[in-house]
Amino acid sequence: MEQQPIVELKGLSKTIGKKKIIDNLNLQLFPGQITGFLGPNGAGKTTTIRMMAGLMKPSSGEVIVEGQTLTDHFEETMSKVGVIVENPEMYKYMSGWKNLLHFARMNKSITKERITEVVDQVGMQNRIHEKVSSYSLGMRQRLGLAQALLHRPKFLILDEPTNGLDPAGIREFRTYLRKIAVEDGVSVFVSSHLLTEIELMCDRIAIIQNGQLIDIREMNQKEEAHYYIEAQPVEQTRELLVGLGLTVAESGHGFIVKVEQDQIPAIIQSMVTANLQIFAVQPFRKTLEDQFLEMTGGGQIAESHKK
Amino acid sequence: MLNLIRNEWMKLWHKKATWIMVALLLFILIGIGGIMKFVQSTLDQPENQPSWEENEAENKAFLTAELANPNIDDTTKKQLEKELAISEYRIEKDLEPMDPSGREQSILDSHFMLSLVVLLSVIAAAGIVASEFSQGTIKMLLSRPVKRWKILTSKYLTTLLFALMLTMISFVASLIAGYLFYDPSGGAILDYRNGAVVEVSYWGRVLALYALQFVGIIVYLTFAFMIGSVFRSSSLAIGLSIFLLFVGPSIVLFLSKYEFVKYILFTHTDLTGYISGNTFVPGLTWPLSLVVLTIYMLLFLVISFWSFTKRDVTA
């Protein structure tokens, strides 16, 4: 995929006081691609996103949107960006429609028809003229998405977007994101704590820890195959597997074995021959959660520097 | 920019507090007119009130006697001479003064009620930036393709517009109260200008007083606007501005012995003194007031804009 990136973070750093919160972040985001942004609490996700949304100024480095830097061409670049930062806080004392009108006026040439269109897209047409204070969290999320889409952005930044949506809403949201990514070539950048969510939604994930990007990986990357094998007696099973030259790791009552699929019949054959009682032989896939925890070294929160 | 101001205007009027403020303003202005009228009507009118001619003659005699006093200083002397000239002119040309309980005087005095407008504009100015932070909407507002200084300018202009509107509402309400509760009395306003006594146009005087009060409103409003945008807290901004509104005159009084009192903001917030002839501190001049006010206003605005455009949004 040798495309021009829509958004590029170049050496992005943020120092608050003496603390380096974001340290030399480099990342490219491509059209049509949904990139997940993961990291433990306090790793610098929100700070990064705020710098990309123009709410914070980087201490050094640049956010570049289609070749223009955010700091020097604020209005041009921001008109290509749609943002939902954390919970979309709206003007509660106004109707959803007035809120959208408000944000539409801050862009050039958004027609009333366009607002109606977006309202229909997020399925809010029945309640749009009610005050936002009467909306549920899920409806506010939809309104939040609507305001981010008004100006047909080429790049969408979402911070914890599915917070407060019900399962049906989450699924709908996912499908919708996929749709605008594929059909309109929008590049989407999603941060979330919900790893399973990210796993289902994203093409690519970027992992941040202590302000540094520690990994970027494609989700459809072919992973090394692992199988879970459980058989009795345990000791004989282990000897047999090790004897076959396999790397074995104990897990519960059985073993995780690093092995390619085409070797499996032969292994079962030899286990049968050895008179082992086989209980389970199944493909084992590390969840994103496992991988994530492995990479970030467990759940400890990075040294606190928020607020 | 027009769209941004429309946005701010829309947000302002969607807050219940704004409507309550306007209703309160109308209620107080018209209500006070009614109460004053009621109080006046309960007072016994003495039977043989002296005519205005007798009063004026007495006043003239008093002023002449005072002037004869050899111990008076120069400023007092000038003031007395001025008053004497006006008094003589009034008697000579047979120009009746305004009845203090008449319609004209009540409308003329209504500019004092603009301190209510100061209060309400300060509340609006304090909240217009701070509330975006407290509601969390600032993140939505600033992640738009609009530079921050434009957003802040639209907010400042909106508060000015709001203050102007409240001022006009008070003017109209005072007119209504004046016509509802008071009888016309006629009378002429005299002033002393460039060594001669002149008759002043009544409506011109009313408008001048309102305009000068409006300058004071803008000063306090700008101060509240600055505190609101720097500290991002509307309660602090409202509290501090109102505190200064009440304490300001006392500070000036307290420091009036010193020369530097001339450079304090509060010495210049009430410009109506130039019309009534009672300035807080002797020796104030128009150019000085204008320069001092301009410098303070610029300072407030520079601080507001600097703080709003440079600082990160972390809320």
For A107-111, A235-239, B55-59, which range has the lowest pLDDT when averaged over its residues? B55-59
Q: What is the reported pLDDT for A271?
A: 84
Q: Is there a contact between B297 and B219 (Cβ–Cβ < 8 Å)?
A: yes
B-facing residues of A in 135-164 (CB < 8 A) are 147, 151
- CATH code, residues A226-285: 3.30.70
> Which pLDDT tens digit goes with each residue over B301-315?
999 999 999 888 876
Per-residue pLDDT, B217: 92
Region B67-85: mean pLDDT is 76
Q: What is d(CA B110, CA B57) in angstroms, rounded to the nearest whole number?
A: 29
- Closest partner CB to B140 (pick from A75, A103, A307): A103
User: What are the backbone dihedrals phi and psi of residue A258, each rounded to the nearest 5 degrees, phi first?
Assistant: -85, 110
pLDDT band at B121 (very low <50, low <70, confident <90, very high): very high
Contacts of B136 in chain A (CB under 8 A): 87, 89
Confidence of residue B299 (pLDDT cuts 50, 70, 90): very high
Contact status of A48 with chain B (Cβ, < 8 Å)? no
**Cβ neighbours of A103 in B, within 8 Å:** 140, 144
Say if the Cβ atoms of A89 and B10 lie within 8 Å.
no
Res. B76 pLDDT band, cuts 50 70 90: confident
ipTM reported for the complex surpasses 0.85: no
B146/A94 CB distance under 8 A: no
* Interchain proximity A106–B144, CB inside 8 Å: yes
Q: Are the CB atoms for B28 and B116 separated by under 8 Å?
A: yes
Where do the domains of chain B lie?
2-32+114-182+202-310
User: Tokens 């084992």 correspond to what residue?
Assistant: A284
pLDDT, tens digit, 9 for 90 and up, residues B204-260: 888 988 998 999 899 999 999 999 999 888 888 888 888 988 888 888 888 878 878
CB A302 within 8 A of CB A209: yes
- Residue B85: the pLDDT is 78
Say whether residue A83 is in contact with chain B using an 8 A CB cutoff: yes
| CA distance linking residue A105 with residue A172, whole number of Å | 28
Average pLDDT, integer, range B125-141: 90
CA nearest to B274, candidates B263, B287, B264: B287
Q: Which of B14, B136, B144 comes nearest A103 by C-beta? A: B144
Tokens 């994203």 belong to A202
Q: Is the pLDDT of residue A302 over 50?
A: no
Interface membership of A53 toward B (CB under 8 Å): yes
Selected for mutation to probe chain A from B139, B153, B306 (highest A CB count within 10 Å) is B139
Interface of B with A (CB under 8 A): 3-4, 6-7, 10-11, 14-16, 135-137, 139-147, 310, 312-314
Lowest mean pLDDT among A137-141, A236-240, A254-258, A295-299: A295-299
**B-chain residue closest to A57, CA distance:** B312
Question: Which chain A residue has its CA at the smallest distance from B131's CA?
Answer: A91
| A93 at interface of B, judged by CB pairs closer than 8 A | yes
**CB contact (8 A) between residue B10 and residue A102:** yes
The reported pLDDT for the residue numbered B111 is: 83
Strand ranges of the sheet holding A19-29, from the earlier edge strand across to the other edge: A19-29, A7-16, A60-65, A68-69
| Whether B315 contacts B138, CB under 8 Å | yes
Q: Which pLDDT band, with edges at 50, 70 and 90, does A105 fall under?
A: very high
For CATH 3.30.70, the residue range(s) in chain A are: 226-285
* Min Cα separation B116/chain A (Å): 26
CA distance B229 to B309: 10
| DSSP at B144 | S
> pLDDT digit string (tens) for B214-228?
998 999 999 999 999
Chain B nearest-CA residue for A156: B143
User: Could you tell me if A68 lies within 8 Å of chain B, comparing CB atoms?
Assistant: no
Q: Do A89 and B137 touch (CB under 8 A)?
A: yes
DSSP per-residue codes, A202-253: -SEEEEEETTEEEEEEETTPPPPPEEEEEEESHHHHHHHHHHTT--EEEETT
pLDDT at residue number B92? 77
Query: Are B139 and A87 a contacting pair at CB < 8 A?
Result: no
- Whether the pLDDT of residue A266 is over 50: the answer is yes
Which chain B residue is nearest to residue A71, measuring alpha carbons?
Answer: B147
Residues of B in contact with A55 (CB under 8 A): 139, 142-143, 312-313
Q: Do A55 and B10 touch (CB under 8 A)?
A: no
In Å, how far is B241's CA from the nearest CA of chain A? 26
- pLDDT of A307: 35
**Class at the top of the CATH hierarchy for domain A7-218:** alpha beta
Model pLDDT for residues B168-196, shown as the tens digit of each residue: 999 998 888 888 888 777 777 777 777 77
Q: In the structure, what pLDDT confidence band is assigned to residue A5 with cuts at 50, 70 and 90?
A: confident
pLDDT of residue B199: 77
- Evaluate whether A83 touches A51 at the Cβ level (below 8 Å): no
Of the listed ranges A173-177, B94-98, B107-111, B132-136, the least confidently predicted one is B94-98
Q: Is B199 helix (H, G, I), strand (E, B) or coil?
A: strand
Which whole number is the average pLDDT over B83-103?
77
